[in-house]
A and B are shown apart, each in its own frame.
Chain A
């Protein structure tokens, strides 16, 4: 068995992990990044479309380009990468993580750990859609992997369920490769992906987007042959008589991502509902030496945001190693209108960076952060939609101490 030591151990070499590693290594500490796949970049490598990096690099890249740019930065910083390594267990007492690879078992002792494992896709089975058990039903990520990396077409005629960004991207991707995409169905009355993707992936290709519509049955013998869709009322109940049959051999699902936290759920706290790691605004978990960032915390819209949060985790981990401090933290609560929020706690005397997703569209509203009755932050009036996260930065000096008596509350106030 092989034993290694490092100041900071990062698990996962996606955007969050590389962001964390770069930030940490630039502060002069030693960093090892462990990745279960053969290369860095995570799911970016199969996202061959453009639109990445507009915030972080101020340039537009494809997914693999974004990954390459980040990976190049790590090369300047002396970060050690271990690819094809799989996490077996954590030893919290000895601050050691144990990995398997084809070289054998490796024990890596560290001073701080950063967990950046990304997310997984919700599977078809979780949707409780009745019908035959057939092949030809793919999550969008699997369809994307097959098309872009394995050089294989998932089928010849497809319907897409879910208008999340990857569903929209796959609608275009499959169309470009000669697969007929008959429609994208979305159960909500508004689209789940970014507005620019609705335009560039559906409208430009004449692919219909059917809102308040879902798949209510799949049929076939061995392979998918027919998908039945139905319209939904405002309570998401099926409207009888709206059934529509689509003869397709492929169903692609873009029905949401779930943070990948199962491997660590026994070691540090995760949110039982969202399954994301619970962190404060310094990306610290409930263990003082463990940090986490990226889609294993909450599901972000943009890889740029993921990278920023990775950097925050890297900075905080270095700060912990160098100063060993464990400052007090206070809960941040979700008020009216807030669906998803990163983070769950605020560390006193720190700058606060919030990522908020509203729970339903608002035509005109404003975001407010307050403690009891003291307003700490008030955004400009604007429209909000769940598919586009709001990013808010508040300087430490703007946050007075009143929240210590209660908590910080974020809410969306209708205007």
Chain B
């Protein structure tokens, strides 16, 4: 029996890890060079508390559970999850009423330690919040993380437990003759499989079409973001700051990042389904972010911007996840429509998927004897090791004393380790090590990383790309 997961985002990789516990054959196919490059890469990176999901939805069912699973996940996968807490701010009585409703809904969803705070207490905790604030809904269990790190960590751990990964390989057809999953056909190979888990994010509808399943009603919703320089803005806020939600959604937030920067956004605009590859920012969007973020934190200085970006998330007409076994195609299982709070819910959905597969298809997965739930992250030397120990480490590994990224203080050892673990592109190095992620955005280190990638992989410089095949960096030699 063979299970094929299509899509290497947060749900795909976490399901792969979950299934990797068992004595079954599992493979994952991802069209990009790396895990987590789609929806998982560009979002608010928040572990939501779970008070804003209406009862009866999949969101409510999986969000608070997923939130709780993150502590164990962080421990096992050695990823950063910081429970910074969140405030939803109210600036008038009407908004205060909304907070009260959210508070009640939070109680119903079993969210722990929720509190309504008054102005003075809020400003004691977060002095840079707009002093016109009257109340906030404070949720200490809300947290932040780096979603791409989770995808990378889950991939490494699943691979170590025997899951087979195929990156840079695109599914082009699914053979479901007789309404039963039989084969998955990619641009490179054909695989005999018994079950397909559709975790293809924005492209889950395309995969469902290939399998001749009923249509999945998703469309892209784009969100733009602004990232501020961590070295100059870090003290501005310490928790996640939301405006009072409206019909338009959660609104534009001010979010601390685990790397100590500040993220502003997202905007939210629904796009035609044909525009799912769009990742462009717009002048209106960026202006809207600045205007709204300043209403929450007036001291934001937009001149401290280091990067702007946009991400698309799959929105469904039901505003809920699209989960479960197809009723039409035997062996086709959807884990789609992972809109907000998809990141938070993902660990719970991965567990559920594993149980649901066994229930639906009458399977019994047996635990692997040598299953190892742990994975270690790439060790970052700067400020994480005593000078004595660091000196000893450099005597063993001289490359640990060679600094590549000067802003985030990343050594050549870290870059080489990322390459050993599968990084082949500049973004793959960036997302694994944070090199090129600092205030100079690669100004001082891109050429060094190009050289290291070229040397370690044996590629010429011209073959190295940022993230996808079209994003080449240099265009040939100046002199032969």
Contacts and interface: CB of A to CB of B under 8 A. Distances in A.
Instruction: Decide if A and B are genuine partners.
Output: yes
Sorting the interface of chain A by its residue count into under 10, 10 to 19, 20 to 34 or 35 or more gives: 35 or more
A139 B439 CA distance: 13
A152 B461 contact: yes
Contact of B387 (A98, A126, A149): A98
B371 interface: no
Contacts of B282: 130
A120 B477 contact: no
Contacts of A320: none
A265 B470 contact: no
A105 B411 CA distance: 14
B135 interface: no
Contact of B388 (A1, A120, A150): A1
Contacts, number: 147
B444 interface: yes
B226 A128 contact: yes
A84 B402 contact: yes
A149 B407 CA distance: 22
B390 A262 contact: no
Given A105-B390, A132-B280, A265 B231 contact: yes
B476 A152 contact: yes
B439 A120 contact: yes
B443 A120 contact: yes
B390 A151 contact: no
A222 interface: yes
Interface string B60-104: 000000000000000000000000000000000000000000000
A101 interface: yes
A135 B403 contact: no
Contacts of A142: 442-443, 446-447
Contact of A223 (B305, B309, B447, B472): B472
A15 to B, nearest CB: 18
B308 A130 contact: yes
B306 A123 contact: yes
A152 B382 contact: no
Nearest to B386: A105
Sorting the interface of chain B by its residue count into under 10, 10 to 19, 20 to 34 or 35 or more gives: 35 or more
Given A84-B402, A105-B394, A151-B478, A222 B283 contact: no
A91 B399 CA distance: 25
A257 to B, nearest CB: 10
A139 B443 contact: yes
B391 interface: yes
A35 to B, nearest CB: 12
B182 to A, nearest CB: 34
B477 A151 contact: yes
Interface string B361-392: 00000000000000000000110000110110
B465 A135 contact: yes
A101 B443 CA distance: 21
B46 to A, nearest CB: 22
Nearest to B439: A262
B469 A222 contact: yes
A102 B390 CA distance: 11
A223 B471 contact: yes
B387 to A, nearest CB: 5
A222 B468 contact: yes
A101 B407 CA distance: 16
A121 to B, nearest CB: 5
B215 to A, nearest CB: 27
A76 interface: no
B93 to A, nearest CB: 36
Question: Which among B391, B440, B472, B477 has the greatest number of chain A C-beta atoms within 10 A?
Answer: B440
A123 B474 contact: no
B245 interface: no
A133 interface: yes
Question: Which among A133, A139, A177 has the greatest number of chain B C-beta atoms within 10 A?
Answer: A133
* 10 nearest CB pairs, A to B: A222-B470, A125-B307, A123-B441, A102-B398, A152-B474, A86-B403, A135-B471, A222-B471, A105-B391, A102-B401
13 contacts: A1-B388, A36-B406, A105-B391, A120-B439, A125-B305, A125-B306, A126-B303, A128-B305, A133-B310, A141-B443, A152-B462, A221-B470, A222-B470
Interface of B: 226-227, 231-232, 277, 279-283, 285-286, 302-303, 305-310, 381-382, 387-388, 390-391, 394-395, 398-399, 401-403, 406-407, 409, 439-444, 446-447, 450-451, 461-462, 465-479
